[in-house]
Structures are given as structure tokens and as C-alpha cells.
Amino acid sequence: MTPSAIAWIWLVALALVMGALIFGAAGDLRFWQGWAFLAVFFAASALITQYLIANDPALLQRRVKGGPTEETEPAQRLIMVFMSFGFVALIVLPGLDHRFGWSQPPAIVALIGDALIAVGFFVVFLVFKANSFASSTVGVAEGQSLVSTGPYAVVRHPMYAGALIYLLGIPLALGSYWGLAAPALMTPILIWRLVDEERVLDERLPGYSDYRRKVHYRLLPGVY
């Protein structure tokens, strides 16, 4: 099976699983925030997938191999297990919030959340345009070279920065303040991942140590 077919099958399967988790937790198919979120999330995902199919199939092949079992570093396998559970909580908590009425933000909050998701995915898209080796696993591939242009000239881990933006947007898009507990817990795990990734890159990617000295911030310019 081709990487493009695998990518589309994976995307459809993910949509079905996420939809089941959201509406199962919410207990309400009229949960409009859930439908709007799924539309934004998977429209962005589909556009990026189609871009990679057309312009960078090698990167697409790297991206379809992800998750705890694909990681070669022991710490990264553990990190990805935690992140997987965190992502489930990210969409289940807002569904439960809707079911039990723990918080009731105005509709504008959901729209802001959808906008944050779109912005986060756009940042990830810029990363893919700049770096054909932006794999979903931590490591250095054969022939990989240092990238220091585009978003990498601003922060050292722009893909994680984009991910944090849409992780923050997800509970808001689903109309939940309580759901913000999930990205709050996932953020230190993501920072653990990128710090450990920098250790690997320092050891295996020529020029990375010099790059770290030139680009001071990991995620947010002027902050961290």
C-alpha cells in the first residue's frame, strides 16, 4: 500500500475515532462545537496531506510512521505513551464538560478555538515546507542536514510551537474551560520531548550545537 493511501486511511480512521470519543462523551449529536471542530481539524489535516502527496512524498512517508512503537529512544517511547493518553483527554474532557454542564463558555470562545487550530496547523505547514526531515519520530535520518531558515530561524522547535497552539485551541473549540487541564498537563511532557530531542540532535546532527547558540529560543521568542 502506498504512503498516500496509508495517510488517507489513517486520517479517516482518526476522524471516526475522534468523532466517537467526542460525541460519546458529550452524549449529544447536536453538539455543534464538536462538528465545527472536526471540520476545521480534518480540513487542515487533509490540505496538508494533499500538499505532501503532491510536493514531498518522502516526508509523507516519514510522517505516517509515528507513535510509541516507532520511537527508537526509550524516553521518547514513554513520552509518546503519555502524549497519546493526553490527546484522548483533550477531546473527552470537553465532551464530558458539555454533557454535565461544568462550564458554559459563549459561542465566540469556540470560534476562537477553531481559529487557533487553523493557525497551529498553518505553522506546522510552514515547518513541512522548510524541513523535509520533519519526522514524527525523534532521530536523524540518513542524508539529513540542518535546517535554520523559515520558522527555524525564529525558534528551534517550530512544529512543537504550532502543536501547542492547536492543542490550546482544541478544548476551546469544543466549548470547554475544564478541557484546558489537558494541554496544561501535556505541555511539560512536550517540553520533555523536545529537550531530549535536542540531546539526540546535538550528538548526531552536524552543526546543531552552533545552531542552538544562534537561535536562543525553543518555542516562544523572548520567553522560552
Amino acid letter, residue 152? Y
**220 within a domain of the structure (yes/no):** no
**147 within a domain of the structure (yes/no):** yes
pLDDT tens digits for 15-39? 999 999 999 999 999 999 999 999 9
- pTM summary value: 0.92
pLDDT tens digits for 198-217? 998 998 989 999 999 999 99
Q: Which of 184, 176, 181 is nearest to 94 (CA)?
A: 176
SS3 206: coil
**223 within a domain of the structure (yes/no):** no
Q: Which of 38-42, 111-115, 145-149 has the lowest mean pLDDT?
A: 145-149
Look at residue 67 and tell me whether its pLDDT is greater than 70: no
**15 within a domain of the structure (yes/no):** yes
CATH number at residue 49: 1.20.120.1630
**222 within a domain of the structure (yes/no):** no
From residue 179, alpha-carbon distances to 137, 143, 224 in Å are: 27, 41, 24
pLDDT for the residue 71: 75
Mean pLDDT of 102-125: 96
Count up the domains in the chain and report the number: 1
Following DSSP, what letter does each residue of 63-109 receive, concatenated? Answer: HTS-SGGG--SHHHHHHHHHHHHHHHHHHHHHHHHHHHTS----HHH
Would you call 56 exposed, middle or buried from its count of C-beta atoms within 10 A (0-12, 13-18, 19+)? middle
From residue 71, alpha-carbon distances to 66, 68, 79 in Å are: 7, 6, 10
**224 within a domain of the structure (yes/no):** no
**221 within a domain of the structure (yes/no):** no
Mean pLDDT of 181-209: 92
Structural domain containing residue 143: 3-214
CA dihedral 145, 150, 154, 157 (to 10 degrees): -50
SS3 143: coil
| pLDDT band per the 50, 70, 90 thresholds, residue 52 | very high
pLDDT tens digits for 73-87? 888 899 999 999 999
**64 within a domain of the structure (yes/no):** yes
pLDDT for the residue 66: 67
